[in-house]
Structure 1
Amino acid sequence: VSTTVARIILHPNYDSDTNNNDIALLRLSSPVKFTDYIRPVCLAASGSVFNNGTDCWVTGWGAVKEGESLPLPETLQEVEVPVLGNRQCNCLNGVGTVTDNMICAGVLAGGKDSCQGDSGGPMVSKQGSVWVQSGVVSFGFGCARPNLPGVYSRVSRYQSWINSFIRSDRPGFVQFTSSGPDADSSYTCPGLPPLLITTTSGAGTCTDGPEATTTEPVSETTMCGITPLNTRIVGGEDAPPGSWPWQVSLQRFGGHVCGGSLINREWVMSAAHCFFSTSTSGWQVSLGRQNLQGTNPNEVSTTVARIILHPNYDRDTNNNDIALLRLSSPVKFTDYIRPVCLAASGSVFNNGTDCWVTGWGAVKEGVVSSPCPQGDSGGPMVSKQGSVWVQSGVVSFGFGCARPNLPGVYSRVSRYQSWINSFIRSDRPGFVQFTSSGPDADSSYTCPGLPPLLITTTSGAGTCTDGPEATTTEPVSETTSPSSTMTSAECKNPEHNNILNLSINESIINIYNEK
């Protein structure tokens, strides 16, 4: 669909010499109709936090490298780049080049960047199931050069300005919050002024500097959860080699039986129902494997020294369906063999949280991709938080495969942190506190026979109940002002994701394919 432009609005403080306030609005001659291929993006609200390392995607039809135009048929390109903090970006591009109205992203080694012809395009990050635009492609020194990140206009600085022109059907502004620490706050170089900290008291705000945030650091001891994004499962697609480096194949006497996940150099996590005993005879773990049949140049195989089933595993109900395997010898990490991070105790996976499941099991009922149709059992279900992949579930059971209204059921990893750590005393797995954004619609769900939700409250006297922990999170706003309903809340993720229904159930997570 093409349309003409009725009005162009440049920011009144745009400086063409410094590229400060490099942002513009265009009013179309007529409203467009939303389709599966035409939809609005959400915008980062004022005060949004994009820490160093936050995953971003940039799209456009610009040059593929300096001096080389996009070849015919000039297909839209996408590139994944991490945020680089403004302090580091200033040091790399020249102190004073990057203002608070800008945000930087790029790979320090070079090779990934926006380029000429991409200008004005979006840089977006995903929060839950929503894509949020953090930046507008602005400028850079060359394209994809080492230690010269691209510079983008910081969208969150312009919420008031944008809303001053759009009085009805306002854009969907979403408060984006990064997880993990921001390494940029401690970055310094000659000529860079010290970081200004915003503190708020009863008297008001002390400075106009960037807001300081405190979060729990992600453990770097195991380098867990780092990989590109690809997958294959029921309703999925083939995963490129190395895209899920923690995925393992558990084999007995040479045949694939179950999946599992590497959680450090010598431990694998899987499902208890994959084992009828703790005997290690005949068991082998294959890591870095891509295909069950044929050659796998990146594969490493090892035997199993010990199998530990959860002591309270119930084969009739599948409660506590989790197991640990100790490898006979530690493995060496490569691009194709890496551990996954694990959801820490108290992690929150709200209804609608995006998850990915991997394995070599049946691609649909009755059509198997391995000798054993249960082949996905024991495998990982993971979600991405910042730049880290966190395992929320272990494939446990379900009624058929991908049937409507029958979600798959997974063992809830966050319930087993203490149990796992009781066996792994050194080089412990990387446990990450996962926090969902937005409200949890599941808390109000009810049906005949379902008991009311138990709420855990803590006071000086201790915990009142043993029910699931209640957490309070800020909902993603569906209105942009008290008097204006955001009909463009359709800026939510346009993909038809294979996403979930996460239930509040003590040791189990449910997931299904939305139709």
Structure 2
Amino acid sequence: MSQHLFLSLVIVAISPLPGGFQHSDVSPTQENPADLDCGLPEPSSRIVGGSDVQPGSWPWQVSLHQGGGHICGGSLIAPSWVLSAAHCFIRNGTLEPAAEWSVFLGVHSHDGPLDNIQVHAVAAILVPDNYSRVELGSDLALLRLASPARLGPGVRPVCLPRASHHFAHGKTCRATGWGDVQEADPLPLPWVLQEVELRLLGEAACQCLYSRPGPFNLTFQLLPGMLCAGYPEGRKDTCQGDSGGPLVCEDGGRWFQVGITSFGFGCGRRNRPGVFTAVAPFEAWIQEQVMGSEPGPAFLSQAQKSQAGPQEPRENCTIALPECGKAPRPGTWPWEAQVMVPGSRPCHGALVSESWVLAPASCFLDRITSDSPPLDLEAWRVFLPSRPGPERVAHFVAHENASWDDASGLVLLQLSAPVNLSAAPRAVCLPHPDHYFLPGSRCRLARWGRGEPAPAPGAQLEAELLSGWWCHCLYGRRGASVPPPGDPPHALCPTYREEEEAGRCWNGSSWSLLCREEGTWFLAGIRDFPSGCLRPRAFSPLQTHGPWISHVTQGAYLEDQLIWDWGPEGDETETQTCPPHTEHGACGLRPKAIAAGVLWPWLAEVHVTGGRVCTGILVAPGWVLAATHCILRLGATTVPYIEVYLGRSEASPLPQGHQVTSAPPLLCQTEGGHWVLMGMAVRGSRELFTAIGPEEAWISQTVGEAHFLNPGGSPYWPPGGSDLCPPDLAGDSGSPKATPLFLLLLAVLIQG
């Protein structure tokens, strides 16, 4: 299982509880008089739509503490016994000492008064002999209290189901706990007990969902003794810190503990319902452990048998599709939001949920500094596609680093009223931190901030992602480690044709990067800072900001990766480092082969009057190195008219009547992965080359920006041979003696 998965869970979303319980006319069979006290919460006047639990609503809820803080949940099943999850107490295969744990009963808020709260030491912790790992089942534990609990209005046991007890799939139940409200998003103060409504899923339906590859292409095999609860569309779940807590279902006016919160793949993710330990199959084990205790747990017979019983119809396997990122056609973005602030130009952002718009902080920097006056949001307006009028702004939240860090230059604006996303407008999908946008992914550029529009009406600004290694090393530091798939990248580099063909670099523009996976669009990156005309552009990835956006909005559409074809095994996952750099970026970097684009980005076409085309090499932003014999005719006294084309190698055919009159240069690859220009072909030969090394002084004096390898960066010769440079040629001292006449440096005016 991936290290990115949560093995203990917490509540992600809260759904309303009914105003009161509907009591059945059929009473459960009582095993002894004490059973009458189980599964009966205190009467309460809950508010529909509320999220906090009212005091006494779930009097069997237990908070398990270790080291002075809440670690897991549990449930009181008898005055001296608490039921929880085994994985809460196992560390490195060893059961932790019972003396390190405390049981808190009657807790409503962890930040509230301690009145009526009972604290008990733990005398023993018991787990099944066959428990080893959470995903292998039998994830339950019994805690024997050092002293029995005092039962009363706020502390009562929950009823337990017999092994024969059947709860129909589709039944609505409740999970409770103090865990995270979203992934990596702790429950805020005052830490009031939370509840979430979950639906029981049949084994076949749950297995169907888990048989579909999810985060990191994982599938999962359900085992006997496990049950699932949740929804295919996700967004309601338990999460980290809820582990060991109860999943309870009402039957005959009493609440039975059906499951124990065990584990899940993330929290509230689509097609990944929470996995619980089913309590009923462990009736015999629980009875055996508590034998002799008086009074013991209340195992009650079923009040009313399910009408379907064993013949219950098979559930349909309904795979939920993303609810975000659907556009009628590329370039028509139903999430495009235009923020209008009096006295300012329109600012373009994106709708990320029913109530929130994400926008660049650069539009509002004069309003978010520490000495700026309070915001007057009354006159602000947001325009969304297909909406009859503007939306008002109720709240403005800037990223804490927005004023000084370009990569964190984001703000969120809350609309005064949520919009209906069943039709246009729609929200764009956001990536989880572990999302990996594959090299070659098809992307588009969209307006962001106050940037200028596309250069031509209807321009699609189509882009294609380059490899993470190439992008990271182009803009990263020498020797830096390249983030592997699953770690947030430092930058995303798309190559896009429309801008190149338009012959401009749009240096004053800001853009967002939208990438598509299986027909769903993700807001992958933002570009809100100038980087000149250096190609390719670097976009700041949005992955690192997903937790912040989720925390603020409590409903933004973070979506799992949808395409998992990572190419040949091991490719992109091996540890890689970056080659030497100039002040303009890494030198000698060749992007991984992709479906289209420039494979040798330093190659230049040097067009000379008369139809000659020479091969040149870009050695600095304004300089191209070429062979003298290709440019100058013997005895010529004047330099011909020359045009240099960059970025056309292997992508565009030569003009009619033109032909390359010089052989390709000699390039060798170093152990670090970058390519070095070793020589330029001698006239009339494809095997003899003018060596570049002896010309270092002349090239450096002329250019000043060319980068030469230090002695430690010598070329690397792979064993077994390849199409790279052979050892004898690399050290060949018999190459023709080179003079500056064999090489020509062209000063090039590079336009966007």
- Decide: shared fold, TM above 0.5: no
* Short-chain TM bin: 0.3 to 0.5
Structure with a larger share of its residues in helix: 2
TM-score (norm 2): 0.26
TM-score (norm 1): 0.36
RCO greater where, 1 or 2, for CA within 8 Å and sep 6 or more?
1
Which entry has the higher C-alpha Rg, 1 or 2?
2
